[in-house]
Structure 1
Amino acid sequence: MASVSISRASCTIKSYLSSSGFSVTRCLSMFDPSVPTQSSVNLNPTLKPCLSNFPFSPLSQSLPQILNFELCRNIRLHPDFLFVAHVSTSSGVGGDSKKQKNSSSNENDTRFPAANFSWIDSYLPRQVQPYARLARLDKPIGTWLLLWPCMWSITLAAPPGHLPDFKMLTLFGCGALLLRGAGCTINDLLDRDIDTKVERTKVRPIASGLLTPFQGLCFLGFQLLLGLGILLQLNNYSRVLGASSLLLVFSYPLMKRFTFWPQAYLGLTFNWGALLGWAAVKGGLDPAIVLPLYASGVFWTLVYDTIYAHQDKEDDVKVGVKSTALHFGESTKEWISGFGIACIGSLALSGFNAGIGWPYYPFLGAASGHLIWQIWTADLSSRSDCNKKFVSNKWFGAIIFGGILAGRLAS
């Protein structure tokens, strides 16, 4: 047995613990179910006054700094506890000092996941927090990946020597935030049974039971209503084009059940803004410019989302869903290298057809270097490194945007 000290200065229990009246027994049941739960709880005397009356007080009330549990050495806290824990072998109840001395340093210092703790917990009202998590407001990378193709297209559609339409950039920024959130809500509603079986997703609001499917559906209606308000500010051609993207948004979460290429389908969905941004400015489409731009985004998505999918490949095999990560296997880097080349080539063709100025091409070279770095250094066996490379794609999008802007001003 080991003593686990909770050492986060602002330890708080998740909002659903404070709002649902969970007891001590319920709290213990939220430890990893694969680990025996015949553990007892010894509270530090300074905590007893705070925890003697369950349910917990509201989330805004912090718990004191130290909480001692008697647990098996290999027990893992459920991520929703939001604690960073230190396993102390210097003092343990009934522990064997010789065994403790032989323990590895990894056992002596175990950091439990606190991925769910974010600005949402600090700044948003308790009742709103589950919906903010459902919309992934604490993970803005998805919004950036959806927004960049829109900004590329709007900037490319600007008159030579002029800045892009600021109103359009603002509208599409708000639209990307809403549509990405709506897509996450749809995904979580359709995948709630799968999410409970995947380590990374089992604590999502609907999968964990923090929100009911009906509450999620109501929130989805609210998001789509706000999105409609933005769409109605565009021209008629753009309204029809934008509304047609909902077919892709609603069907994408199902693709992993039927094909090894859900990442390609995500590319078709996430890069629709490459078509819509141009149409919003020009009132129509120029296939010679927007189709290569759209294709470049699809190839880009195949690169970053295949890397992302390697985080879940073990769980995907167990659950029975498909991905390009599983399909490519050991050949992943060869495949995504080809997609990266196709992405850069399509961007070059789109810029050439648009008559963009020469500054665009040095930026395109820098973006190529970024893709090479991603693919060359990605450790596909490391979840943390795959996520790091995935998140870095916001900078790829920013480089291309900067190039388009510089090229348009110089043309």
Structure 2
Amino acid sequence: MTFFDRETEMLPRELLRDLQSSKLAAVLSQTYGVNQFVTAKMDAAGVTPGDIRSVQDLASLPFTTKAELLAAQDQHPLSTNCTFPEAAYTRIHQTSGTTGTPLRVFDTAESWDWWGRCWGFVLAGAGLTSQDRFFVPFSFGPFIGFWAALGGAEKIGALMIPGGGRTSSQRLQLMADLGVTAMACTPTYALRLAEVAREEGFDVSTIPIRLTVHAGEPGASVPATKARIESAWGAMCHDHAGASEVGAHSFECQAQPGGTHAIDSEFIVEVINPNTGDLVAPGDEGELVITNLGRIGFPVLRYRTGDIVRVDDSPCPCGRTFTRFAGGVIGRADDMVVVRGVNIYPAAVENLVRQHETVDEFRVTVT
């Protein structure tokens, strides 16, 4: 079992809470009165940094939404959620914009290093070590995607192999030539690469790959999709979730307990009833709300992700004390449909369809 920061990942829960409280206080003290967005939100709620003494006081803060962050970027050359002057920022990325206006996010050198640290937890949690050759078949455009995975691999000491600007056939050959042992990509692209290999008679067993890490889609936590990826590559498949505006916030460990761990040392996670905003009990489905603790230059406080999760408070075989999400991200609040009185998420349909090996692409129509 590999760890990025074993001591932190196995802290007793009460000490994790203390760590979160300390980091939260630092975020508020460094942003309130300087960051226009944070200051306006807190002033409107009648809350000051002194009112938030621990994680238990977090509910005093208002939620943050994507719509608010989009509005913030229209009111300032960068965003009113930027804590520092423009000269302090070294990176800009944006969301894909598939459902609307792209949201721009900004990172300082310090917060980009924090992104790499978060990815360090993700990759080490999946089993990546300094002995691995880590391949990322990603276009490396403005979407933040797997950019930060480079920093995570670097912190671990793995050999990082970027795979942009190549066809699938060229990527397969490169993986074989360089002896790739680990790969990060979307679940569907892992399946597509395997499909191209079959079509071209390329023997994937010539690639000594032993683990894959996936993000951008829910597939790696969908049992049938996970099984198909593992069968195609002969490697262990691991899920990861994150968001451009939040950070790389959760990962699947080597124990593969049927879900993911939140990185509690870098984030505070809450699960709420999306209709009432109240916290739900462990084991109940709800919307994931996240506060990041290491991105002072572009913080989010109680950010409503729209992701549906369910907390499993039973111990994980890996020994980590980080919060567990059973099944990873179950779906999106705006993706759920009710069919004959039953809540259905696309991932549940995918799990059924992917069990049929003759099906590759599919479309769901609700009538």
TM-score clears 0.5 = no
Question: Normalising by the residue count of structure 1, what TM-score does the alignment of the two structures yield?
Answer: 0.24
Which structure has the greater CA radius of gyration?
1
Query: Which structure is higher in helix share?
Result: 1
TM-score of the pair, normalised by structure 2: 0.26
